[in-house]
Structure 1
Amino acid sequence: MLLVAVATAGLLGCAQKNESQEDENEEGHALLGVIQAVDEEGLTLTVAHEEIPDFMPPMTMVFRVGPGDVQVFKEGDQIRARMIRDEDGGFRLIKIWKIDDKAASEMRKVNERLAKEAEKLASGYYLAEGDTFPEFALLDQYGNTVTPAQYEGKPFMLNFIFTRCTDGEMCPLSTSKMASLQKMAADAGLEKLEFISVSLDPQYDSPGVLRAYADAYGIDGKNFKFVTGEREAVRQLIKTMALTRIEADDDIIHSLATVLVDGDRKIVMRSTKKTWEPAAFLEAAKAL
């Protein structure tokens, strides 16, 4: 897998090296580097990485990655990731995130406002129909920043899922319903209706993982964004919707919240049930 060893110390300069998503007990090694090449067919990234303390000197290597990663990242991107061993002894990158100081700073400012909004809510209270949906800033399955401000004048559907969810009546069903509603809205001529699914598992659900998840459901990403980001921002957004989220081994036990938000960011319809009907939300969207 090794291509060529090069001197890459200080490769990222003063770039953001935020690893707050990571747990010290996670498998593999933290890696910082710059993408040199992307092989979509071979599902690999060539990365010039900095020294990995007590493990590997700086060098350029070819890493296996997921199918979504080769679609999200491009040559020249600065990244942080976890490097792990494949079964055959090769190296693979997981949990890949682009390092972008400017975008991170702008997102942090927005999410500070989200935190203040969440702090106003007493325990057990949440934003209900008629309330203004809060600001947030997260990354979508293309690696782009998503904020409600981008949807000014446009209604949007929003729910919460995570890609490793195996309960067929929870995330898989919710995603299938959102995908069905997206198609129903297109057939009904609701061109302005947008869709957002927020990951409850940002530590695992990187943009590349979300890209593969969306593709697996055959979802058109033009108006359907799967978003992830800093755990604290996701936690605050969850709080505003009063979702239950409990980590248990490799699973997350959680409740549901599906909302329709109008073009003025007012919540016009909210459901916490598994049995929410896409047709009901479609009719509400038609009335906007």
Structure 2
Amino acid sequence: MHKLFFIGMMVCIAFTACQSNSNTLPIIGQRDAVQKEVDGKTVTDTIYHSIPAFSLLNQDSVLISDKNFDQKIYVANFFFTHCPSICPTMQRNLLKAYEKYKNDERISFLSHSIDFKYDQPHVLKEYATNLGVDNEQWQFVTGSKADIYSLADQYFVYTKEDSTVPGGYDHSGYLVLVDHNKHVRGAYEGTNDEQVSQLLKDIDILLKVYE
């Protein structure tokens, strides 16, 4: 059921994305209508799904939090360093975005390891260095299973510890675009060149919004 939920969510994301035009991006996820009084009148406000507060250990053994991404666009994903399947391609494709926007302080990148047993900070540091990451713009983080897996739910990314699959973990390879307000604005299959290209275009759309 857990995996079916995320399959359904991704279908919903794909459908919503098709409704956007070249100047706007959808806000993905649940939204609630909340009524409040303003100047004696009842108005309806929309509360959108947003990424909650978090605190995780990065590749330099430093605690970082959601505050590090305040007033930034960022791209998040979930991986593990010894992944034998989709992760190498996904991370190489995310590297394209990192290299395009390198040293642009308006955008960051955040990779969460789902291997809470092996991927300690020194392992993440070696991985990041080998990948070609040499500044703080791209963070690689680890945390408890509960912390990482509950965050994956908030990003609409499927993750599961599974001894029957190669590497011991089953997960989706989405690159998730998040805006200044911690709203999810798009999800892109990290192993698909066309979707990665769309991610780059959509980053540019958001950057123009915040100019």
**TM-score w.r.t. length of structure 1:** 0.52
Name the aligned partner's letter for residue 192 of structure 2.
T
Alignment map for 1:1-288 (pairs within 5 Å): 124=5, 129-130=27-28, 131-167=49-85, 170-186=86-102, 190-240=104-154, 241-248=156-163, 250-272=167-189, 274-275=191-192, 277-288=195-206
Cα distance, 1:264 vs. partner?
Answer: 1.5
Runs of 4+ in 1 over 4 A off after TM superposition: 125-128
* Partner secondary structure for residue 287 of structure 1: helix
Separation in structure 1 between the aligned mates of residue 159 and residue 130 of structure 2, nearest angstrom? 27
Inter-partner Cα distance in structure 2 for 1:248 and 1:172: 20
User: Does the Cα contact within 8 Å between 2:188 and 2:196 map onto a contact in 1?
Assistant: no
The one-letter amino acid of 1:175's match is: Q
**Aligned-pair distance for 1:211?**
0.2
Q: Aligned partners of 1:216 and 1:190: how far apart in 2?
A: 21
Shift in Å at residue 191 of structure 1?
3.3
Task: Please say if residues 196 and 227 of structure 1, whose CA atoms lie closer than 8 Å, have aligned partners that are also in contact.
Answer: yes
CA RMSD of aligned residues (A): 2.4
Query: d(CA) in 1 for partners of 2:62 and 2:56?
Result: 8
> Contact 1:165–1:172 at 8 Å: present in 2 too?
yes
Larger radius of gyration between Structure 1 and Structure 2: 1
Structure 2 residue ranges without an equivalent (≥5): 14-26, 29-48, 207-211
Q: Normalized per residue, which structure has more helix?
A: 2
TM-score (norm 2): 0.69
Mapped contact 1:124–1:242 kept (Cα < 8 A): no
What letter corresponds to residue 245 of structure 1 in structure 2?
K
Following TM superposition, by how much is the alpha carbon of 1:272 offset from its aligned partner in structure 2, in angstroms? 4.3
Q: 1:218 to 1:242 in 2, by over 3 A?
A: closer
Q: Gapped runs of 5+ residues in structure 1? A: 1-120
Distance change in 2, residues 1:273/1:172 (3 Å): closer
Q: RCO (CA 8 Å, sep 6+): is it higher in 1 or 2?
A: 2
1:287/1:237 CA distance change after superposition, 3 Å: same
